[in-house]
Structure 1
C-alpha cells in the first residue's frame, strides 16, 4: 500500500528541463560566449548531426504551405495586405485631391497611419509574456482585428466632409491648380461657395480612426509574425525563409485589390479625375470591413496553436537583455535603422507634383501602384523560390540601384513619381525577417521579430521629420508649385538631389548586414557582447520614437503646423486676419 501511495504522488520539475538542445535561450549575459553547445558551433556534433549540417532550430518539421495552419496564416497576411494597401493609398485621391492637404500634411497622415508599427516590439513582448487563456497568439489576433473592424465601421457610417472642390465648378486644370494653391480671386461668388476651404481641418476624425485601425491590424500582424517565426524555426536552413517569403508575397499581392478600387472608383470630379462618377470615401471604409471579418473567421477556425506555459517575466526580460547585448542584435539593429533612415529620405513635393504639374489622375497613379505591388510580390516570391541563399548585401544593392535608375527616369520625364521605394523596401523587409528568425530564441519570437522590424519602422517617421525639415527651407508649398516657375522647379530638383544622395548613402551601412543565414548564426555565437551598445540601442529607440510622434502630431494642427520642426515653412500663418500659428 505504501508503494502504491508513493506512485500516486505528483512530482514537480523545473520548466528549464523542458528545453531541448535546439534552444539558444540564455540565463547570463555571457552565456553565448561560454557555452559551446550552440547551433553551428564546430564542437557541437559530428558529420551525422542534423543541426551541425544546417538542420531545423526546433522540432516539428517544415509546415506544408497547403495545410490548414498555413492557409490560416496566409489569410491573416491577405487581410493585412488589403487594409495596409488601402489606407496609405487614400493619401493622394482623398487627402491631396479631395481634401486639398498640403505636402507636409499628407506626409504626416502617411506617418500617423504607420507610426503604430514602431510599437511592435512592445506588443511582441506582450504576446510572448502574457498569454490569454493559455494562448499567446490567437487571442491577440482576435483583439487586433476586432479593433480594426470597429474603426472601419465608425468611418464607414459617419458622413465624410464635402470636398475642397465641389461638383459644378467646371474649372480647367490650370485654374484648379491655382485654386488649390489658395488663389480664389478669379472665382465668382457662386463658385466660391463650392470651395470648402476648411476641408483639410475637417479630416482629423478619419485620420485618428485610421491610425487606431492601423494599430488594431498591426497587433494581429505582430502575433502572426511570432507564429511565423515559430514555424520558420522548424525549417531546415537550406529552405528556411520559404514560409516568410510566401506570406509576404501574399500580402503584397492582396494589396493590389484596394489600389484597383481606389484608382477606378475614386476618379471622379471630386478627385480631379476624368470619370463622371465616383464613390465616397465612406464606401471604401465599408469595403474594408470584409477583410477584417475574414481574418477573424480564419483566426477562429483555421489557426492552430497549442497551449503554452506562461513564462516568468523576470527571466524573460533578463534573457532579452542578454540577447540585446549580443553584437548580432545591435549590429543588425544599427543596419536596419541607419540604412533605412537614409534610404527613406524624400521630398515634401512628392505627393503634390503629380497633382499640380502633371495633373495625374488617381486611376493612372493607382494603376502604376498596382504594377509596383505586383512587381514586389513577384520579387519576394522569387527570393523565396530561388534566392534563399543569395548574398543579402548584393541583392539589396542591386534592387536599390535598379529601382533608383527607373525612378529617376520616370521622375524627370513625367513627374508621375510612383515607382519609388516598394521593390527595394520589400527586399529589405524580407531580409530583415530572415535575420530575425536566426536571432530569435525559443520563447521570445514576438519581441525579437518586433524589435528588428520596429527599428526600420521607427526610422521611417524619423526620416520623414528630417526631410520635411530640410524641405521647409525650400519653396515647395502648394502655392509655390502652382506658380510653376523656373526657380520653383530648380528648388524641386534640389530637394530630389538631396533625397537621392541620402538614398545612395544608405549603401555605406551594408557591411553591417551579415551576407546570409549561416553568417548570422556565427555572429550570434562568436560576435561578443556590449552593454554600452545595448544601452545605445535603447536610447536611440526612445529618443527617435518620442521625437517622431510629437513632431508629426504637430503637423496635423493649425496652431503648430507652421513650425519647421513640423514641416512648415517657419512663417506665421494667418487665417481671417488672425495669426493661428507662429
Structure 2
C-alpha cells in the first residue's frame, strides 16, 4: 500500500487580508474565464493567477482560499490527450512498465534461476526500491533548479537516460548457469546439490543495475507527478482529481503490459514457468531498452511546460519548506505515511516459498492473474472517479486495509494447511484484493492534489513520498529479524518439501502476525483529514510545532540509515548468514 499525502496549516486572516483575498480571488476568476480553450492559454492563465507573492507568503489562509476560489471557476481543465501533452501519459505508461518489469523478474529470476533464500529475496526487493526514498530531494531539485528554464521536462528525459543505461548494462551481461541442476525437461531438481553455487556471488551484478533502473524511473516519475499536479490544480474543485484518475489508469495499463511480457515471453521453466522456450533475463532487458529509446524523444517533444523566466531561490524554498513541515497539519500526515507503510509492509519471509512450493504458482499464471487484477483496478478507478470522489478518505483507507487482509488470509491459510493447494485458487486473491487497492491508491493521490502547494508541487509530492518509503527498509529488516527467529526456518526450501504438520503451524503463526501488524496501521487514521473541506480547514486552523517537525524528520532518517545498512549486509554472501539480520547462522 502506498499512502502519499500532504497537508499544511495556518492561522486565520484578519478582515483586511480577507478584503484583499476576495479581490485577488475575483481577479483570478476573471483571468480564468478570459482564457481560451487551448492548452497553452489555459496553462498561462494558471501561472499568471498564481504568480502573486501572496501565494508563497506568510498568509497560508490565502493559499487555501485561492485554491477553493479557482476550483469554483468555470475554466476548462487542461487535457493530457493533446499533441502538446500526450508525452506525459506515454511516459507514465512506460515508466510504470519498466518499474513493474524490475519488480516482476524477482520471483522467476532470483528465487528460481539464482536459487536465493526467501529472506535475501525480501532484502533485495527492499533494496531495489530504495530510490523511492529520493522523492524529496528529487522534488526539491525539480522546483529549485530548472534546466534551460524548465523544471520538469529535462528531469523526465534524464530519468529515461538513466533507465536506458541500466538496461544496456543488463542486456550485455552474459548469464551464468542456473543455481539448481535441471532435469531433461528443464525443470529444477530441488533435492539434489546445486550445480552452480557460485552464481550467488554474482547477484550484485543484477541487483544494482535493477536498482539503477528503478532510480531512473523515480527521477522521471517525480518530474511527471510535479507537472501533473500543476495541471490538476487547475480543475474545478468538484471535478478535481479526474486528470489524476486518468493518469492512474494509464500507469495501471503500463504495469498490466509488463505482466503480459513477463507472463508470455519469460515463462520458461528456468524462471519457474511452464514453457520450453522464452526470453532470457538479458533478452527481456534488451526488449525494454528498445522501448526506452523510442520514448526518449517523445518525453521531450510532446510534453508541454511553460519556460520559467526566473530561477527560484533555493534558500527561500528551503525556509518556506521548513515552515510548511512545522505545521501540525502536515506533520501529522507525514507521521501517518511513515507509520502505515511500516506496518503494512511487514511480511513473513515464508511468502515466496508458500507461493512457489505449496501453491505451485507458475510465472504465466501469476502474470495472468496479475493482469486481471490490474484490469479490475482500472475499472474500479473509473467507478471511484465517477461516483465516489466525495467519499471520506478515512473510510476508504479503513475499508481497503480490512478488505485486503480478509481476502488474503482465506486462500493463504487453506494453502498452508493443505486444504486447497491450487495456484488458480491461491492467485484469486490477487484479483479480489485489487479492488480495495485501487480505491486506496486513488484516494492517496487525491490527498496529494488537494494538499499540495502552488509552486512547490515537487516538494509536496517528494516530502510525503520520502517519509512513506523511508519506512520500507526498516519494515523489511525488522521482518527478517523477527521471522528469522521462527524454528524450523521459514526461509529454507527443505522445510517446505518435508511439509510436516508442525512446520505448517509455524508458517500459519507467521502469517497471523503479519495480518495483525497490518491491522495495527488503522490506529493512525485520525492523523489524516476526512475530505477536502477538512484538509483546507486544517491548513487554516492548526498551529506549528518545531519539535514535532524535527522528530517527524529525524526518526525516519535514523530508521532509513539503519535499514539500508542491514539490507546491504543481507545481500553480501559473507554477512547474509548472520543471525541478527535474519540469517541461519554462519
The interval holding the TM-score normalised by the smaller chain is 0.7 to 0.9
- Give, in whole Å, the separation in 1 of the partners of 2:76 and 2:559: 40
- Give, in whole Å, the separation in 1 of the partners of 2:361 and 2:68: 55
Contact 2:168 2:285 in 1 (8 A): yes
Shift of 1:462: 2.0
Q: 1:39 maps to which residue?
A: 64
Shift of 1:199: 2.3
1:448 aligns with 2:463: no
Structure 1 residues 23 and 568 mapped into 2: Cα distance closer, same or farther (>3 Å)? Answer: farther
Structure 1 residues 77 and 23 mapped into 2: Cα distance closer, same or farther (>3 Å)? Answer: farther
Q: CA RMSD in A?
A: 2.5
**Aligned with residue 513 of structure 2, among 476, 479, 498:** 498
Structure 1 residues 214 and 275 mapped into 2: Cα distance closer, same or farther (>3 Å)? Answer: same
Q: 260-269 vs 498-507, which deviates more?
A: 260-269
Q: 206-215 vs 379-388, which deviates more?
A: 379-388
Q: 93-102 vs 273-282, which deviates more?
A: 273-282
TM-score by length of structure 2 reads 0.84
Contact 1:79 1:294 in 2 (8 A): no
1:553 aligns with 2:568: yes
Q: 2:375 maps to which residue?
A: 374
Q: 1:284 maps to which residue?
A: 284
Shift of 1:564: 3.9
Alpha-carbon displacement from aligned partner over 1:44-70 (angstroms, at most 9, x marks no partner): 8xxxxx9448526xx974112422344
- Give, in whole Å, the separation in 2 of the partners of 1:362 and 1:77: 25
1:477 aligns with 2:491: yes
Q: 1:6 maps to which residue?
A: none
Alpha-carbon displacement from aligned partner over 1:432-469 (angstroms, at most 9, x marks no partner): 32222222222211011111222222222221111111
Alpha-carbon displacement from aligned partner over 1:29-56 (angstroms, at most 9, x marks no partner): xx44xxx54434xxx8xxxxx9448526
**Aligned with residue 72 of structure 2, among 40, 55, 58:** 55
Q: 389-398 vs 206-215, which deviates more?
A: 389-398
1:199 counterpart SS class: helix
1:90 counterpart SS class: helix
Q: 2:306 maps to which residue?
A: 306
Shift of 1:20: 4.9
2:218 counterpart SS class: helix
Superposed, 1:229-244 pairs within 5 Å as 229-244=229-244
Greater share of helix = 2
Q: 423-432 vs 329-338, which deviates more?
A: 423-432
Contact 1:433 1:449 in 2 (8 A): no
Q: 2:163 maps to which residue?
A: 148
Contact 1:326 1:530 in 2 (8 A): yes
Alpha-carbon displacement from aligned partner over 1:56-109 (angstroms, at most 9, x marks no partner): 6xx974112422344221111101111111111111111101111110111122
- Give, in whole Å, the separation in 2 of the partners of 1:60 and 1:23: 22
Contact 2:71 2:234 in 1 (8 A): no
Shift of 1:130: 0.5
Alpha-carbon displacement from aligned partner over 1:451-495 (angstroms, at most 9, x marks no partner): 122222222222111111111001202233332222211111111
Q: 1:432 maps to which residue?
A: 444
Contiguous gaps of at least 5 residues in structure 1: 1-15, 45-49, 185-191, 573-582
**Aligned with residue 516 of structure 1, among 511, 523, 531:** 531
Contact 2:333 2:528 in 1 (8 A): yes
Radius of gyration: which is bigger?
1
- Give, in whole Å, the separation in 2 of the partners of 1:550 and 1:428: 31
- Give, in whole Å, the separation in 2 of the partners of 1:172 and 1:91: 18
Contact 2:64 2:539 in 1 (8 A): no
Q: 2:198 maps to which residue?
A: 198
Shift of 1:262: 1.5
Contiguous gaps of at least 5 residues in structure 2: 1-46, 417-422
1:134 counterpart SS class: coil
- Give, in whole Å, the separation in 2 of the partners of 1:519 and 1:358: 45
Contact 1:551 1:565 in 2 (8 A): no
- Give, in whole Å, the separation in 1 of the partners of 2:131 and 2:580: 20
- Give, in whole Å, the separation in 2 of the partners of 1:38 and 1:219: 28
Structure 1 residues 86 and 37 mapped into 2: Cα distance closer, same or farther (>3 Å)? Answer: closer
Shift of 1:523: 0.6
Structure 1 residues 457 and 285 mapped into 2: Cα distance closer, same or farther (>3 Å)? Answer: same
Q: 554-563 vs 65-74, which deviates more?
A: 65-74
1:391 aligns with 2:373: no
Structure 1 residues 61 and 454 mapped into 2: Cα distance closer, same or farther (>3 Å)? Answer: farther
1:64 aligns with 2:75: no
Q: 2:545 maps to which residue?
A: 530
Shift of 1:291: 3.5
Shift of 1:353: 1.4
Structure 1 residues 21 and 438 mapped into 2: Cα distance closer, same or farther (>3 Å)? Answer: farther
- Give, in whole Å, the separation in 2 of the partners of 1:366 and 1:503: 25
Q: 1:409 maps to which residue?
A: 410
- Give, in whole Å, the separation in 2 of the partners of 1:24 and 1:390: 29
